[in-house]
């Protein structure tokens, strides 16, 4: 079994774990009973691991249709006395926000931990919102771990805190904690036999206005008690000594502070905060009262900084505070050791020796992320592009959505003109179809379709929009690492499950023009696109073909391996494959004889053969590798 | 002791797998290790960089000048991260380019590999035809393991060959062990220091 080491009951064992794997280990040590998610980078591997270990660990796990459903599912489990955990990426919390806000009022019975994985620098996100502010507007206790070991240790504590105050706890992580590997030492697994039972109590669990008014006061009362704990908890600690410089930090930024302070032999005290909401005002007051300069190092928003300034102001303290608000630290993008060094140079008036290599300036070609070789989306975009060309339509508006296929934005396809968020391709397509006379084509992935697109499609049908809606059904949630979704005959426990037939669902709404195509059949796909584009009203194309990476993995595991190569004797260098299909494995090279030729990279080619089917000269040939 | 290593290449070359193998080998050797990787969007064909520190460090990112070893799976990608190196850093470069689509689609220029290598002055450059060696071992896909073979020869690299091989075996599908171990040896032998 994959990930079997994560559930071994061997206290003291050490493993090289990804932060997200360490979270699962910690939750299992805490005896978690129940978990739910909608996958999103950088949180996804938590679900990937649970997919393999949940059954063995004796717990329930599901990939929910979207984050709101995931939160509701876990809230009910916690209300029934179970320990539950729900996790998603930062923008997933926007989707879940309605349910999220109410869970703070309603509270929990069993421990409930809500994990938000934020993405400073937007490695794979549409924004870099700082979800720590969600703790403030909801009134939820919040914990920010700094490394893989803390992911494991602190999540256990998060369950305890949740049960102590009967409040859900927001566990706020970031990319460089989720996606950092480190050595994690295991603790004991506490497996209590818990059976969920819901004790009815409408006054407690039904958030009617009359109850909500009381609940809000109760929440504020609870938060006062939690603040007493944040002032004394072991999760917040002071390192180092000195009465000149005090550094307050949390999350991944602590690591950079730690290493830089050590490297410079700086005489500084570090207040490493992890239990950051409610803000530990007493602890911070004492800390800043004993130093002359306070430096606050945190990624994104100045949360710790504003709270610290508030503490200083309310206590009439005259300490110097350096952070983002007076321009010493950046408010955008993730930090690194150099960001901390740059700030310390300014604040302390020192010069830090750096012996970074200074390479000769050579112009390097850019290498943006691209659709993988073999990706069925490439074949679909090629067909859509060719259909529009053949129909001489130049100004079609292409709304796109969140998934690998957003990369259709690139040349030569240029199949992306507007994108807001998960599921927005259909709602925005309706808007464009109502406000312009241009052709509108929306693209959405299968998982994103289930997630937040069905209400939009109902809106399109009911309001008689004129558009083409393309559902790119690659039989998985590909971008986040291949999780199942409701369209597949398997669930989060790895068990057979009933699945939703997309074509039937679309027809069930009342839409008549619904066609399913195999994008590798390029000719037929172009034909269907032309028909759909010329159709008045809504037309839906389901472009169905499994993600190439899944197909590759299955074949290669069985030792089946083949690629395609160009027969230079037949090739006329017409460029259809390199410039119009534009597969990432196909490239042009100037050979020693000065001629430019097209080749296929044998290490990247996945053997899909789409290039061979479109080649007008039959110059692309299959080659089996043993 | 603290050694910073930056692995840079193209999605599909096995950069993540290779760096995870080194991390596992560090654990097997009783050393502290912390490593940062980026997942998501476009698994093949885009830039992949992982950063690692072995020894006494908490920061998962290698600052500018903190990279003692650069493992470049592709010439341009090796060059792109050189600011992470310092004078005297070891730079292993696979000399076989992967030409990005921007060259044919946007008219961008891919520089000559010899020019890139010549410009890597004041660095200990180890240039090997890793992809070609992997083909010799049986499959171009084993390029990453060839690179590990070469990495194990770098003087400041703190992990033994045996531990690396042990970690490779623990990571790779047994069906492909023989081919990968051949690839490892070819990478190991390709380095003359």
Band (A109; pLDDT cuts 50, 70, 90): very high
Structural domain includes residue A602 = yes
Same domain, residue pair A148 and A278 = no
A vs B, Cβ pairs < 8 A, gives 224
B88 shares contact with chain A (CB less than 8 Å)? no
Q: Looking at the partner chain, which of A179, A373, A625 has a beta carbon nearest the beta carbon of B37?
A: A179
Q: How far apart are CA A450 and CA A454, in angstroms?
A: 7
**Closest approach of B153 to chain A, Cα-based (Å):** 22
ipTM of the complex: 0.95
Band (B39; pLDDT cuts 50, 70, 90): low
Average pLDDT over residues A496-525: 98
SS3 at position B21: helix
pLDDT for the residue B42: 56
Count of domains for chain B: 1
Same domain, residue pair A112 and A127 = yes
pLDDT for the residue A14: 95
Band (B40; pLDDT cuts 50, 70, 90): low
Q: Which domain holds residue A573?
A: 561-624
Band (A161; pLDDT cuts 50, 70, 90): very high
pLDDT for the residue A16: 93
Share of chain A above pLDDT 70, in %: 100
pLDDT for the residue A603: 84
Count of domains for chain A: 4
Cβ distance of B100 and A254 shorter than 8 Å: no
Same domain, residue pair A92 and A225 = yes
| Residue B155: count of CB within 10 angstroms of its CB | 9
Q: Sign of torsion, CA A584 A590 A595 A601?
A: negative
Same domain, residue pair A595 and A541 = no
| CATH code, domain carrying B164 | 3.40.920.10
Structural domain includes residue A364 = no
Average pLDDT over residues A356-371: 94
Band (A211; pLDDT cuts 50, 70, 90): very high
In sequence order, the 6+-apart residues with CB closer than 8 A to the CB of A566 are: A597, A598, A599, A600, A619, A620, A621
Average pLDDT over residues A510-530: 98
Q: How far apart are CA A274 and CA A157, in angstroms?
A: 11
Instruction: Specify the pTM.
Output: 0.96
pLDDT for the residue A626: 72
Which B positions 110-169 lie with beta carbon below 8 A of chain A? 110-111, 115-116, 119-123, 131, 134-135, 138-141, 143
How many helical (H) and strand (E) elements, i.e. helices and strands, does chain B have?
Answer: 8, 6
CA end-to-end span of chain B: 23
Same domain, residue pair A38 and A185 = yes
Q: Which residues of A touch B115 (CB under 8 A)?
A: 362
What is the DSSP code string of A331-383? SSS---HHHHHHHHHHHHT------B--------------PPTT-HHHHHHHH
**Distances from the Cα of B44 to the Cαs of A548, A603, B47, in angstroms?**
11, 11, 9
Cβ distance of B42 and A407 shorter than 8 Å: yes
> How is residue B98 written in tokens?
């992967």
| CATH code, domain carrying A298 | 3.40.50.920
Q: Which domain holds residue B102?
A: 2-190
Q: Which residues of B touch A117 (CB under 8 A)?
A: none
| Residue A358: count of CB within 10 angstroms of its CB | 14
CA angle A205, A209, A210 (to 5 degrees): 80
Q: What is the 3-state secondary structure (H, E, C) of A216-262?
A: HHHHHHHHHHHHHHHHHCCCCEEECCCCCEEEEEECCHHHHHHHHHH
Q: What is the 3-state secondary structure (H, E, C) of B98-162?
A: CCCHHHHHCCCCCCCHHHHHHHCCCCEEEEECHHHHHHHHCCHHHHHHHHHHHHCCCCCCCCCHH
Band (A1; pLDDT cuts 50, 70, 90): low
pLDDT for the residue A523: 97
Q: How far apart are CA A280 and CA A414, in angstroms?
A: 50
Same domain, residue pair A452 and A389 = yes
| CATH code, domain carrying A449 | 3.40.50.970
- Last-in-domain residue among A330, A348, A366: A348
Q: How far apart are CA A208 and CA A463, in angstroms?
A: 33
Structural domain includes residue A83 = yes
Are A371 and A584 in contact by the 8 Å Cβ rule? The answer is yes
With 90 as the cut, is the pLDDT of residue A482 above it?
yes
**Closest approach of A290 to chain B, Cα-based (Å):** 27
Cβ distance of A355 and B47 shorter than 8 Å: no
Same domain, residue pair A494 and A452 = yes
pLDDT for the residue B193: 75
**Closest approach of B122 to chain A, Cα-based (Å):** 9
Average pLDDT over residues A147-169: 98
Structural domain includes residue A51 = yes
Q: How far apart are CA B16 and CA B117, in angstroms?
A: 24
Q: How far apart are CA B193 and CA B185, in angstroms?
A: 16
How many helical (H) and strand (E) elements, i.e. helices and strands, does chain A have?
Answer: 21, 23
- Last-in-domain residue among A551, A585, A605: A551
Q: Mutate which of A345, A359, A559 to test chain B, going by most B C-beta atoms within 10 A?
A: A359
CA end-to-end span of chain A: 27
> How is residue A407 written in tokens?
């990369």
pLDDT for the residue B82: 98
Average pLDDT over residues B33-47: 81
Same domain, residue pair A421 and A296 = no
Query: What mean pLDDT is reported for chain A?
Result: 96
Same domain, residue pair A330 and A381 = no
Average pLDDT over residues A469-491: 96
pLDDT for the residue B187: 98
**Closest approach of A335 to chain B, Cα-based (Å):** 9
Burial class (CB in 10 A: 0-12, 13-18, 19+), A109: buried
* Least trusted range by pLDDT, from A369-383, A546-560, B134-148: A546-560
Band (A2; pLDDT cuts 50, 70, 90): confident
Query: What mean pLDDT is reported for chain B?
Result: 95
Structural domain includes residue A511 = yes
Q: Looking at the partner chain, which of B79, B105, B141 has a beta carbon nearest the beta carbon of A411?
A: B105
Whose structure tokens read 């720590």? A132
**Closest approach of A314 to chain B, Cα-based (Å):** 35
Average pLDDT over residues A2-16: 94
**Residue of A508, A506, A502, A501 lying closest to A538 (CA atoms):** A506
**Distances from the Cα of A398 to the Cαs of A252, A443, A530, B96, B161, in angstroms?**
38, 7, 15, 38, 53
Q: Strand pairing partners for A513?
A: A539
- Last-in-domain residue among A178, A203, A232: A232
Q: What is the CA radius of gyration of chain A?
A: 27
pLDDT, tens only, A538-565: 999 999 999 999 999 999 888 888 999 9
With 80 as the cut, is the pLDDT of residue B38 above it?
no
Average pLDDT over residues B17-32: 96
pLDDT for the residue A625: 84
Q: How far apart are CA A432 and CA A438, in angstroms?
A: 8
Q: Mutate which of A603, A606, A623 to test chain B, going by most B C-beta atoms within 10 A?
A: A603
Structural domain includes residue A366 = no
Q: Which residues of A touch B136 (CB under 8 A)?
A: none
Share of chain A above pLDDT 90, in %: 96
With 90 as the cut, is the pLDDT of residue A456 above it?
yes
Same domain, residue pair A509 and A585 = no
Structural domain includes residue A363 = no
Q: What is the β-pairing status of strands A562-566 and A620-624? A: antiparallel
Band (B192; pLDDT cuts 50, 70, 90): confident
**Residue of A100, A90, A96 lying closest to A127 (CA atoms):** A90
Average pLDDT over residues B81-106: 95
pLDDT for the residue B41: 60
Residue A520 phi, psi (nearest 5): -65, -20
pLDDT for the residue A621: 98
Same domain, residue pair A193 and A259 = no
Q: How far apart are CA A276 and CA A231, in angstroms?
A: 10
Are B73 and B13 in contact by the 8 Å Cβ rule? The answer is yes
Same domain, residue pair A208 and A306 = no
Structural domain includes residue A117 = yes
């Amino acid at each position: 079994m994959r990930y079997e080491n994560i559930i071994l009951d061997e206290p003291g064992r050490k493993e090289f774990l990804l932060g997200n794997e360490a979270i699962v280990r910690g939750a299992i040590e805490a005896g978690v009973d129940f978990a739910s998610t909608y996958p999103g980078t950088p949180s996804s591997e938590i679900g990937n691991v649970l997919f393999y270990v949940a059954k063995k660990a004796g717990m329930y796990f599901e990939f929910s249709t979207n984050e709101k459903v995931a939160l509701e599912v876990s809230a009910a489990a916690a209300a029934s006395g179970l320990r539950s955990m729900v996790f998603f990426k930062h923008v997933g919390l926007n989707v879940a926000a309605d349910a999220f806000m109410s869970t703070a009022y309603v509270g929990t019975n069993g421990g409930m931990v809500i994990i938000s994985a934020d993405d400073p620098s937007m490695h794979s996100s549409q924004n870099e919102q700082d979800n720590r502010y969600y703790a403030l507007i909801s009134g939820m206790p919040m914990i920010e771990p700094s490394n893989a070991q803390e992911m494991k240790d602190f999540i256990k504590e998060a369950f305890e805190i949740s049960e102590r105050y009967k409040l859900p706890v927001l566990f706020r992580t970031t990319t460089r904690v989720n996606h950092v590997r480190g050595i994690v030492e295991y603790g004991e697994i506490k497996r209590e036999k818990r059976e969920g039972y819901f004790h009815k109590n409408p006054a407690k669990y039904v958030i009617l206005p009359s109850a909500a008014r009381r609940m809000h006061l109760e929440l504020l009362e609870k938060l006062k008690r939690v603040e007493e704990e944040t002032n004394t908890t072991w999760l917040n600690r002071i390192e180092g000594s000195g009465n000149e410089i005090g550094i307050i930090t949390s999350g991944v930024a602590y690591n950079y502070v730690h290493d830089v302070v050590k490297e410079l032999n700086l005489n500084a005290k570090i207040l490493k905060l992890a239990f950051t909401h409610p803000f530990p005002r007493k602890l911070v007051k004492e800390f800043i009262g004993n130093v002359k300069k306070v430096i606050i190092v945190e990624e994104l928003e100045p949360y710790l900084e504003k709270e610290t300034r508030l503490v200083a102001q309310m206590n009439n303290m005259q300490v110097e505070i350096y952070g983002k608000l007076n321009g010493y630290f950046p408010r955008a993008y993730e930090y690194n050791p150099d960001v901390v060094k740059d700030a310390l140079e300014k604040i302390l008036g020192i010069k830090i020796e750096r012996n970074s290599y200074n390479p000769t300036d050579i112009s390097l070609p850019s290498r943006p992320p691209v659709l993988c070789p073999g990706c069925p989306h490439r074949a679909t975009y090629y067909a859509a592009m060719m259909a529009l060309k053949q129909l001489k339509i130049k100004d079609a508006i292409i709304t796109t959505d969140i998934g690998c296929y957003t990369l259709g934005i690139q040349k030569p396809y240029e199949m992306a003109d507007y994108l807001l968020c998960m599921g927005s391709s259909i709602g925005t397509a309706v808007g464009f179809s109502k406000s312009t006379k241009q052709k509108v084509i929306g693209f959405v992935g299968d998982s994103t379709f289930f997630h937040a697109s069905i209400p939009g499609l109902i809106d399109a049908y009911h309001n008689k929009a004129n558009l083409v809606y393309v559902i790119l059904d690659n039989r998985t949630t590909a971008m986040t690492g291949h999780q199942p979704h409701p369209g597949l005959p398997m669930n989060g426990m790895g068990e057979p499950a009933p699945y939703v037939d997309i074509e039937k669902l679309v027809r069930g709404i009342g839409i008549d023009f619904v066609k399913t195509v195999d994008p590798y059949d390029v000719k037929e796909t172009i034909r269907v696109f032309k028909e759909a584009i010329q159709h008045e009203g809504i037309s839906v194309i389901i472009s169905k073909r499994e993600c190439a990476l899944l197909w590759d993995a299955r074949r290669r595991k069985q030792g089946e391996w083949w690629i395609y190569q160009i027969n230079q004797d037949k090739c006329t260098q017409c460029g259809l494959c390199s410039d119009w299909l534009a597969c990432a494995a196909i490239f042009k090279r100037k050979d020693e004889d000065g001629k430019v030729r097209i080749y296929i990279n044998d290490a990247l080619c996945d053997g899909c053969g789409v290039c061979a089917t479109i080649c007008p000269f039959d110059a692309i040939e299959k080659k089996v590798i043993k | 002791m603290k050694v910073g290593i930056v692995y840079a290449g193209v999605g599909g070359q096995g950069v993540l797998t290779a760096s995870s193998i080194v991390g596992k080998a560090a654990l097997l050797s009783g050393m502290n290790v912390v490593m940062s990787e980026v997942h998501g969007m476009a698994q093949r064909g885009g830039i992949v960089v992982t950063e690692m520190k072995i020894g006494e460090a908490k920061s998962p990112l290698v600052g500018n000048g903190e990279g003692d070893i650069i493992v470049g799976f592709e010439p341009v990608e090796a060059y792109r991260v050189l600011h992470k190196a310092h004078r005297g850093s070891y730079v292993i470069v696979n000399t076989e380019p992967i030409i990005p689509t921007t060259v044919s689609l946007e008219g961008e220029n891919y520089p000559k590999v010899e020019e890139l290598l010549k410009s890597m002055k004041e660095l200990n450059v180890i240039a090997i035809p890793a992809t070609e060696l992997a083909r010799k071992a049986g499959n171009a896909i084993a390029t990453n393991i060839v690179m590990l073979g070469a990495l194990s020869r770098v003087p400041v690299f703190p992990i033994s060959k045996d531990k690396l091989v042990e970690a490779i075996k623990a990571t790779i599908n047994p069906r492909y062990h023989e081919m990968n171990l051949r690839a490892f040896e070819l990478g190991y032998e390709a380095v003359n220091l």
